[in-house]
Amino acid sequence: MITAKFSKNTFQFKQPSGTSRGVLTEKHAWFIEVWETDTPEVFGVGECSIIPGLSPDFDSFEKYEEKLKSLCKNVDLNLDFWPSIKFGLETALLDLKNGGKGIIYDNAFTRGDIKIPINGLVWMGDSKFMHEQIEEKLEAGFTTIKIKIGAIDFDSEIELLKSIRKRYSKDEITLRVDANGAFTPDEAEFKLSRLSKLDIHSIEQPIKAGQWNAMSDLCLKTKLPIALDEELIGIHLSTDKIKLLKQISPQFIILKPSLHGGISGTQEWIKIAEELNIPWWITSALESNIGLNAICQLTANYKTTLPQGLGTGSLYLNNVHSKLTVKDGFISISQL
**Domain-located, residue 122:** yes
pLDDT of 124 strictly over 80? no
pLDDT in tens, 49-70: 999 989 999 999 999 999 999 9
Share of the chain above pLDDT 90, in %: 80
Q: What is the CATH number of the domain that holds 19?
A: 3.30.390.10
Whether 256 sits among the annotated catalytic residues: the reply is yes
Q: What is the CATH number of the domain that holds 139?
A: 3.20.20.120
**Domain-located, residue 110:** no
Look up the domain containing 71 and give its range: 2-97
pLDDT of residue 21: 64
Task: Residue 14: name the closest of 24, 3, 2, 29 by CA.
Answer: 24
Q: Considering the candidates 115, 137, 148, 191, report the single residue annotated as catalytic.
A: 148
What is the pTM (predicted TM-score) of this model? Answer: 0.94
Q: Considering the candidates 86, 137, 241, 256, report the single residue annotated as catalytic.
A: 256
Contact 281, 174 (CB under 8 A): no
pLDDT in tens, 264-277: 999 999 999 999 99
CA distance 156 to 216: 28
pLDDT of 326 strictly over 90? yes
**Domain-located, residue 104:** no
Whether 148 sits among the annotated catalytic residues: the reply is yes
Class of residue 305 by CB neighbours under 10 A (exposed 0-12, middle 13-18, buried 19+): exposed
Same domain, 207 and 328: yes
pLDDT of 201 strictly over 70? yes
